[in-house]
Each structure stands twice: as structure tokens, then as C-alpha cells.
Amino acid sequence: MNKLKLNYTSLSFLPILVCVPIGYQLINNIHFGGFKLFQEFLISAFNPKIDNEIIIIVINRLNETILIGFFSWLVSIIFGVIFGILSSNIFYKIFNIPNFFYCIIRFFLTIVRSIHEVVWGILLMQIYGINFSIGIIAICIPYIAVNSKVFAEQLETIDYKSFEFINQINASKFSSLITLIWNPIINTFKNFGLYRLECSIRSTVILGLFGIGGIGTSIFLSFQTLNFRELWTYLWSLAILIILSGLIFKKIKFNTTNKILSIFFIAVFLTTILFSFSYFLYFIFNNNFENFNSFSSLFKSSSDLELFAFLKLILETIILSLLSTGIAISLPPLVIGIFNNNTSKIFIKIFAFLFRLIPSPIILLILLTFNNPSLSLAALTLGLHNAGITSKLLFTNLEDQDRRNYIAMKSLGISKKTSWLLGLFSQQAKSYLAYCAYRSDIIIRETAIVGVIGSVGLGWQLQESLSSFAWQEVTIVLIAYSSIAIVGELINGKIKNSLT
């Protein structure tokens, strides 16, 4: 018998096997109690509530969402650039600073990044109480670390010969630094920075579900009152916002040689830094941390966590990440490959958009109407939401792909599905898997959100510990979360390197 040989194409489909255990558990957990509700939810999508009152609410809530999203984006991009420079090797080479500092900053940013913005949000809300600025701070903390990683990675691709030239002409260190980093920073901002605004808006919506404000809070409240028509009004208005912002970003072209625009950007840059520092100081000195009197309370509070139960939660979180990643990787190529015609493509794109649009906690709550809470249900939710994102990337890449191989195969009489698989997808499989490796980093962090809602893994424990102000438990759970995310990031980093 021939040995099974794995290649990038087969590796893209193999993870779909996770659907076997997920499907088995889901079938066992099915109940029809809330089926009517689910039906009502679907029908309401075509009949959203539209009247003057709700339009005013939508406008106000969207304003809040845009404000939180925009400010957290602006601050996180600017500080992302600063920390990106501080965590790139080019900075240390130019200033001859020992690598020790480089390792410390990178390690610190990795820890900050490993905790999801929702966790930061819940944590800050518990300490500080519900506040508009908490949303901005909660998004900014991990986003600065994520952005700094992307900027640092780009700075490390600077041609060594350019560095040698600048070094050899002996310009001042700051002049050398800015000359070398200017273009990579601008290019990264153009390619990645605007996309982060969309991410920032999505995070604001998710934080809204936990009470921060904005359209997310309205979505959650309308779901709690089972007012699905209202819920869909909010969801569609959010969809319009995301589509519009996407269209605007496509139109924006940055001309870095435009003097007035450049001066404007620098003014925004400096003002944001100044404002952020002032606000940070205000935040530190002018608040009465409601439920968190001192750091000593971290150690005074007791912990009721049992070792075995805690290890079980860690294991659940890891399994949840693996199962969700499996769905997010394999579902898009499988569905696109099977339903490979123009009409199906439109439907797949609509579903993918809806999975991206509807926040994962809401997807989970909807699925809970006809299924009992379980690890599989949480995995399905997270998998579907992320499959919406990976399928968008796959569609874009496939549309940009050279189609000559595909046409040649079809002309040989090979079936459309096989031609698609071998002539189109096989050439994208490697880069698709590399992106999925990056995506799985995010999935690990997102397990916290579905965990809180779906009573699964460490997310659930975190919510419980926070509710009872058991700070020692909170610390332990956060350390466990962070460790899983860091280990996951290291493994995914290795996979990405081997794929690129």
C-alpha cells in the first residue's frame, strides 16, 4: 500500500476531521425548546425594526462605537509604532544597546498581547467600574502590543545593506534611525493600519456586549429581551458601517510627499502622545479603584481553585482552541470547493460576512437556543466566526490568482471541482496555511470570550473569579491564559516560519 503523503493542500482539508467529535456531541446535546426562537431570529433578519426612535438610538450608539473604536485605534497605532521601534533589532543595532533590553520589551509585549481585550475590559470594569474610557484603554492595551509586533516584524525586514550604508556615512543616531525606519513604518501603516481600525470597531462591539456602551450594548440588550427585529436593525447598521468604512479605506491613498498632509499627520501623532500621557496620569491619580484597594489584596484573597479542576479548565481551553482552529482552516476551502459556482459563491460570501459581522458571543447565544452548552458548541461558534474571516482572505487571494492552470485543466476535460483544487487552491494552500497559523493565535485569545458566555474553559472561571473579587484566582487564571497564548504563539511562529 502506498504511504500517505501530506502536502499543503491536504493539510488545509485534514483539520475538518474535528467536525466528527464536534458533530457527535452537538447531536447528543440538541434540544428543540428554543427552535421557535431561532426561527424567529432568522425571519427577523429580513424584517428589521425601522422607526424614528430606533434610528436615533442607532445613530447615537454608532457614534459611541465609532468614537471608542477610532480613539483606541489612533492611540494603539501610534504607540504601536513607538513600541514597534523599541522592540525591533534595528533600534538596538543603531544605538548599540545590549540585546537584554530588546528581550525584556519583547517579553513584556508578548504577555500584554496574550490577553484578549475582552479580558482586559472585564478586568478594568471590575476594578474601575463601567466607564466610556475603559473601552478605549481595554482595546488599546493588547492592540498596542499586537501593532508593535507587526511594525517590529516589518522593521526587521530592512535591507542590511541600507543599514550598512547609513552606518558607514556616520550620520547622527537619530537621523540614521528615522531614515531607515520611515518607509517601512509608512508602508505598514498603509497596508495594515487601516485594517486595524475595522478590528478596533469589532472589538468595541464585543466589549459593548459586556456593558462598555455603543452598539454592542444595544445588541446584547435586545437579545436579552428577545427583541430580534431590533437586534437585526443594530446588526444591519453595523454591517453598513463596516462596508462603508471598507469602501472609504479603499479610496484613501496616502501621498507621503504631500507636505501639508505630512505636517498634519505629525501634529496628530504628537497631540495623541501628549493627550494619552496626560490622560494616563489623570487616570492614575484621579480615580478611586472601587473594588481593588491595593496590590496586597492580590495575595490576601483566598483561592478556592482545585488543582484537578483547574487543569481540566486549561485542557478544555486548549481543546477549544484546537477544534475552533480546525473549523476555521478547513471549512472555507471545503465549502468553496464543493459549491464551486457563481451563485453558491455569492451565498458563501454572504454567510461569511454574517459570521464576521455577528459577534461570536451572539452567535453562541443563538446556537444555545437549540443546543445545550458544551465545549463543541463553543468550538463551533469560534470556528464559524473565524471561518468567516479566513474565507474572506481565501476569496480575495483566489480572485487575484493567475487562472491559467485552472483553465488549462478544465480544457483537458478535468472536472470543475478537481481543476479548482489542483489548478487554483493548491497554489494558495501554503500562504493560506501561513495566515491560518497567525489566525490561530487570535483564536486562542478569543477562547476567553466564548468561555465567559458558554461556560467553557478558563474564560468561565475568569468570570466567576472576577464576580467574587477573588483576585488571587484572577491572577492564576490570567497567568494560565497568558501561558497558553504564549506557547501557542511560539508554536504558530515556528509553523509560520516553515511556511514562509
Partner 1 sequence: MNNTLLELKNISYKYKNNLILSKINLKINSGEKIALLGKSGSGKTTLISLLNGTIKPTQGEVKLFNKSFEELDRKQKSKITTIWQDLRLIEDFSAEQNVNFGLLPENNFYFAFKNLLNISSFKKAHKYMQLCRLHNSIYDKKIRKLSGGQKQRVAIARSLIQRSNILLADEPFNNLDPKLITTIKNLLLENVDKNNTKKYPKTVLVALHRLDLLNDFDKVIGIRDGKIFFNIKKNNLKKLHLDKIY
Stretch that binds partner 1, among 85-93, 255-263, 338-346, 434-442 (CB under 8 A): 255-263
Residue 176 makes contact with partner 1 by CB under 8 A: yes
**Nearest distance in Å: CB 176, partner 1:** 7
Phi first, then psi: what are they for 85, rounded to 5°?
-65, -45
Q: Which residue has the cell 545593506?
A: 161
What whole-number distance in Å separates Cα of residue 469 and Cα of residue 290? 11
Phi first, then psi: what are they for 414, rounded to 5°?
-75, 145
Residue 179 makes contact with partner 1 by CB under 8 A: yes
One of 131, 245, 262, 303 touching partner 1 (CB under 8 A): 262
Stretch that binds partner 1, among 99-107, 180-188, 200-208, 485-493 (CB under 8 A): 180-188
One of 3, 5, 161, 250 touching partner 1 (CB under 8 A): 161
Residue 191 makes contact with partner 1 by CB under 8 A: no
Count the Cβ atoms, other than its own, within 10 Å of residue 457. Answer: 29
DSSP code of residue 370: S
What whole-number distance in Å separates Cα of residue 463 and Cα of residue 474? 9
- Paired with 30 in beta bridges are 371
Tell which phi-psi region holds residue 373, choosing left (phi > 0), alpha (psi between -120 and 50) or beta. Answer: beta
**Nearest distance in Å: CB 173, partner 1:** 9
Q: Which residue from 34, 84, 130 is spatially nearest to 372, judged by alpha carbons?
A: 34
Residue 282 exposed, middle or buried by CB count within 10 Å (0-12, 13-18, 19+): exposed
Residue 172 makes contact with partner 1 by CB under 8 A: yes
One of 81, 118, 166, 474 touching partner 1 (CB under 8 A): 166
One of 2, 52, 96, 170 touching partner 1 (CB under 8 A): 170
Residue 174 makes contact with partner 1 by CB under 8 A: yes
**Nearest distance in Å: CB 153, partner 1:** 18
Residue 25 makes contact with partner 1 by CB under 8 A: no
3-state secondary structure of 30: strand
3-state secondary structure of 373: coil
**Nearest distance in Å: CB 175, partner 1:** 4
User: Scanning residues 264 to 323, which ones bind partner 1 (CB under 8 A)?
Assistant: 266
What whole-number distance in Å separates Cα of residue 491 and Cα of residue 318? 13
One of 95, 108, 132, 182 touching partner 1 (CB under 8 A): 182
Interacting residues with partner 1 (CB under 8 A): 161-162, 164-172, 174-176, 178-179, 182-183, 187, 256-257, 259, 262-263, 266
